[in-house]
Amino acid sequence: MEKKKKQSKQGISKEQQQYLQSIKREKIFIRITQVLLFLLAIVSWEAAARHNIIDTFLTSSPGAIFELIIGFIKDGSLFKHLYVSTTETVVGFLVGTIVGLLAAVVLWWFEKLARIMDPYMVILNSLPKTALAPIIILWAGMGFSGIVVTAASISVVVTTMTLYTGFVNVEKDKIILLRTLGGNKFQVLKKVIIPANLPNIMSVIKVNIGLSWIGVIVGEFLVSKAGIGYLILYGSQTFKLDLVMMGVFVLGIVAALMYFLAAWLEKKVIKY
């Protein structure tokens, strides 16, 4: 009787509890496996370096990279480079995502404009933005503004096309229902289009993190005097491949942290 009362109070049956527990165990298993794979890769890399299976001049080693990171942390230069690159990435990410979202809304709002712009959007999406980075930087300015615009340009067209496609594919019945109840176009956008595309928006945000980092690194290769891209370029030019690998490693860690933050935000937004 007590068990039944507990179940009725919680509103969850025994089978539902077992199902939720199995999902939780699966998530824990996946996280542990991900961590173990990362550790296995690091240990294998270090072992191969110590036994001269790989050329450490070309590939470096986790131990050498760790020592270099400690040295950069002690003199404070790592935080300086991280701050520069992260700031450029966040600003470029915000500009690209917001402009892309607004452009998608405008195209959805004005159907004729969307038809006119359709071939141009395809052409813009096919252009190699990284190859055009020198021109973009000359137009936008040599420095922070040029790097931010480069990062934003890589993601803005993808964002616009992805979200616009999601907007026009929303179930027509919901839009018709709201219109019959007297809703205007802005209310349709607010009550139907945006809520229905929240998963798409969050997916775009996660993709744009990686695209923004690509734009920032390319921009830093060209004009920056600080940042992760600058470290990688300087290391390659001076044949300090430990520095190159350290830059790549730090870049991967920071990008992963930003991705996990976006994934956490996605869960909160979708749940809300």
Q: Decide which of 5 and 53 is more confident.
A: 53
The CATH number of residue 98's host domain is 1.10.3720.10
Q: Is the pLDDT of residue 5 over 70?
A: no
How many angstroms separate the Cα of 247 from the Cα of each of 40, 67, 78, 124?
21, 13, 10, 31
**Total tally of structural domains belonging to the chain:** 2
Are 7 and 83 part of one and the same domain? no
Are 70 and 185 part of one and the same domain? yes
Q: What pLDDT does residue 272 have?
A: 67
Radius of gyration of the chain (CA): 24
Q: Which two tokens stand for residue 103?
A: 């452009």
> pLDDT tens digits for 156-192?
888 998 898 888 888 787 777 777 777 777 888 888 8
Exposed/middle/buried for residue 145 (C-beta within 10 Å: 0-12, 13-18, 19+): middle
Contact in structure between 94 and 157 (CB atoms under 8 Å): no
Are 148 and 166 part of one and the same domain? yes
Q: What pLDDT does residue 99 have?
A: 92
- CA 3 remoteness from chain centre: 46
Are 89 and 223 part of one and the same domain? yes
Are 185 and 224 part of one and the same domain? yes
Q: What pLDDT does residue 40 have?
A: 92
Are 198 and 219 part of one and the same domain? yes
Indicate the residue among 50, 65, 89 that finishes a domain. 50
Domain boundaries, position 16: 2-50
Are 71 and 194 part of one and the same domain? yes
> pLDDT tens digits for 6-40?
444 456 777 777 777 888 888 888 889 988 998 89
Are 90 and 195 part of one and the same domain? yes
Are 112 and 214 part of one and the same domain? yes
Are 123 and 40 part of one and the same domain? no
**How many whole angstroms separate alpha carbon 64 and alpha carbon 116?**
55
Model confidence, pTM: 0.78
Cβ count within 10 A of residue 36: 10
Are 11 and 141 part of one and the same domain? no
Are 182 and 101 part of one and the same domain? yes
